[in-house]
Structure 1
Amino acid sequence: MEMLQTSLAGLGNFAMYFLISIVLFFVFKLLYTFITPHDEWKLVKEQQNTAAAIGFGGAMIGFAIALAGAASSSAFFVDYVIWAFVAMLAQVFAFLLLRFTFMPLIAERIDNNEVSAGIILACVSISVGLLNAACMSY
């Protein structure tokens, strides 16, 4: 019984971090769809746009990777939340960098369901998430 209590001692902290992670994930979804010139949910749900699904999925994976890095590297809960917002900004920056430098027509290409554009966006987003997570391990 003591071993079970020891194993479950961190359950409160787990629940707190996990629940705020889900909230932050939802906030990221709202922020990301606000920043992009197209509505990813509408493109995916109503138009079955594969390019939008791939690009948006990559952004969510990249953000989740950065969240995981923040959770494992943070000194305390508020530190985690601060770094989660940094991760959000990094993902938004990744999209804007791609849109305004390397692929200025990325939004139109995703609207037109060009899968190659969705793949590039996903790759950039996941790469930024990995770099972000690694840089958070201060």
Structure 2
Amino acid sequence: MIVSSLSGLPAFAAYLVAAIGFCALFLLIYTSITPHREFNLIVEHHNASAAVALGMSLIGFALPLTAAIRHSAGMIDFAIWALVSLVVQVAGYGLARLAHPKLSQSIEENSIASAIWLGAVSLTMGIVSASSMTP
């Protein structure tokens, strides 16, 4: 019984490692395109707005990853959908800035309202992306 339960362990490990890798890639790309320096704001300045916005953006990216894992035909299929999800999140950031042109400045100034706005857009993009992935 235990042996049969553990038969899925290699696939679990592969998807887990790949998902963590894609989350790291997302953070690298996302933080390089935003004008504000999230990690500096979070670590050096204890900026709650940067932490909320980046954290919710990461969750917004992770949501479609779970759907991609569930519906993928394999690792290549998963990787493609992970990259699509990354593009969707970056587009979401762009849309949030269209509606709020001083978004990055507001986050630097620790405006929690701006962080919640960006986080809500990121979560919405993630939920819609995840729901759009069908088998």
| TM-score where L is the length of structure 1 | 0.95
CA deviations 1:6-59 (Å, max 9, x no partner) are 111110000001001111110100000011011100000100111111110110
Distance 1:25 1:102 in 2: 26
CA deviations 1:46-81 (Å, max 9, x no partner) are 001111111101100001111111111111110000
Tell me the equivalent position of 2:125. 128
Tell me the equivalent position of 1:113. 110
Alignment match of 2:61 (pick from 49, 60, 63) = 63
Output the aligned Cα RMSD: 0.7
Distance 1:62 1:130 in 2: 7
Query: Pairwise mapping of residues 76-95 of structure 1 onto structure 2 (< 5 A)?
Result: 76-95=74-93
Deviation of 1:90 (Å)? 0.5
Same amino acid, percent of matched pairs: 38
| TM-score where L is the length of structure 2 | 0.98
Distance 2:88 2:95 in 1: 10
Count of residues paired in the alignment:
135
Structure 1 residue ranges (4+ consecutive) displaced by more than 6 angstroms after TM superposition: none
Alignment match of 1:8 (pick from 6, 27, 32) = 6
Tell me the equivalent position of 2:73. 75
Q: What one-letter code is carried by the residue in structure 2 that aligns with 1:27? A: L
